Amino acid sequence: MPRPPFSYKRKKTVETPARKPMPPPAAAPARPISAGWMDSPAHLLLLSKFAVPRAIDDYSRDELWQSVLREPAQQAIQQFISAGAIAPGTPAQALDYRLRLAELKKQLRARNLPDSGTKAELIERILAADPAWVQLHIAGQPVYICTGAGRAIVEQYNAQRQAQRLACEKEVRDALAARQIERAIQAVAAYEAAQVFPRGVGIDWHHPDSAQDESALRAIGNCHIRPLSALNPEQLDEVRLNAGVRWLFGYSYDDYPLPAEVTDRLPDDGFRLTSAVIANARFHSAIDACRKSQAQFPQVRHVIVYTHGDDHLVCDECRRLAGREWSPDEAPELPYERCTSSSESGCRCEANWRFKND
Ligand SMILES: [Zn+2]
């Protein structure tokens, strides 16, 4: 099944500060929560967005939300308000939502005030110094945030989602350990089909085309590339299972790292090992797809072509690899044995097949 490009890279630490939820407004919800929307995953997902201050406009014009909610988002949000699950935010919360850190600092400097401290501290400072400006700045643009009751619902919802994901990961791992590839693929497809916003664009998770996954998972289960030769059988199993789960969920290594007790005893970096296994799986799924198409259209010649990363890190050997067309039987396996890259992600070579143009 087509999927978004796989992330081999380690995620960089993102510098954007997390929006910290601020204390809820003093007025407690008067009404107990009882509404049909609490059985709707799309409504609960939307409510969970209000764990931090949000404007209704963020969602009211979004057709995607309307389609999953089966009603205008504005209407759904009004129900949250009526039920006491969300309420208007404080001026501080509205500022937190409306102003970026840099803009807050600029406003403070313009008033000859210090611009150091956390975002919450900066907001308190400007609120104390110039409440009239704050009122003017947030006028007519209310934000909403979960009340205590709303937060309780969101926390329960988040815990449920997390439990479902962990249960699916475990099911996939168990299936792969038992070499039941189809069972693993089905488990992920069922999981994604049940999501409000399933992963990937245009994938029909109710009827997934699993040929690519089958090839890749077979390759992972049988993977014997050179970097794995120093592993003992248990380590080899761990690395393959990790790669298999990552393949099916589209996880980066940070989403699903090897446990520390495994990496501590590995002869090489866990990220590099599992990424090599995944690169090898991609290679074999491309070769399988090429052979399958060749069998279907034997009158046309099929070739394998390589692409690599698009920067100065790519080594000369990989550059030479990419300039040629290969028959699927002769195409060098990836990760490329002759690659001389010492960078963590290698030269990021990939094999693809195409009809021979001539
Ligand atoms: Zn290379």
pLDDT for 276 beyond 80:
yes
Gap from CA of 351 to ligand 1 centroid (Å): 13
Q: 325 φ, ψ to 5°?
A: -105, 135
Q: Which residues are bridge partners to 87 per DSSP?
A: 145
331 CA to centre of own chain: 32
- Residue 1: the pLDDT is 45
Gap from CA of 323 to ligand 1 centroid (Å): 13
Question: How confident is the prediction for the chain on average, in pLDDT?
Answer: 88
pLDDT for 313 beyond 70:
yes
Mean pLDDT across the stretch 25-41?
64
Gap from CA of 264 to ligand 1 centroid (Å): 27
Q: Look up the pTM and report it.
A: 0.80
Gap from CA of 263 to ligand 1 centroid (Å): 25
209 confidence band (pLDDT: 50, 70, 90): confident
Distance, in Å, from the CA atom of 3 to the CA atom of 87, rounded to the nearest integer, reads 39
Distance, in Å, from the CA atom of 291 to the CA atom of 211, rounded to the nearest integer, reads 12
- Residue 168: the pLDDT is 97
Task: Write the single-letter amino acid at 220.
Answer: I
**Helix (H) and strand (E) counts in the chain:** 15, 5
Gap from CA of 334 to ligand 1 centroid (Å): 10
- Residue 341: the pLDDT is 87
Of 18-27, 128-137, 194-203, which gets the smallest average pLDDT? 18-27
Cα–Cα distances (Å) from 208 to 193, 306, 352, in that order, read: 10, 27, 21
34 confidence band (pLDDT: 50, 70, 90): low
Distance, in Å, from the CA atom of 338 to the CA atom of 87, rounded to the nearest integer, reads 61
* Pick from 161, 211, 209, 217: nearest CA to 184: 217
- The burial of 104, by beta-carbon neighbours within 10 Å (0-12 exposed, 13-18 middle, 19 or more buried), is given as buried
Cα–Cα distances (Å) from 162 to 43, 72, 165, in that order, read: 17, 27, 5
Q: Which residues are bridge partners to 352 per DSSP?
A: 305
Residues 61-92 have pLDDT tens digits of 888 999 999 999 999 999 999 999 999 999 99
pLDDT for 108 beyond 60:
yes
Q: Which residues are bridge partners to 353 per DSSP?
A: 304
Gap from CA of 346 to ligand 1 centroid (Å): 6
240 contact partners, CB below 8 Å, separation of at least 6: 176, 220, 221, 223, 277
* Pick from 335, 334, 336, 329: nearest CA to 302: 329
Gap from CA of 335 to ligand 1 centroid (Å): 9
Gap from CA of 350 to ligand 1 centroid (Å): 11
> Which residue would you say has higher pLDDT here, 54 or 10?
54
Alpha helices in 17-100 (DSSP H): 41-49, 57-60, 63-69, 73-82, 91-98
Gap from CA of 240 to ligand 1 centroid (Å): 23
As a whole-number percent, the residues of the chain with pLDDT over 90 amount to: 69
Retrieve residue 79's tokens: 């129900």
> How is the chain split into domains, by residue range?
209-355
* Neighbour order of strands in the sheet with 325-326: 325-326, 302-307, 350-355
Mean pLDDT across the stretch 43-63?
93
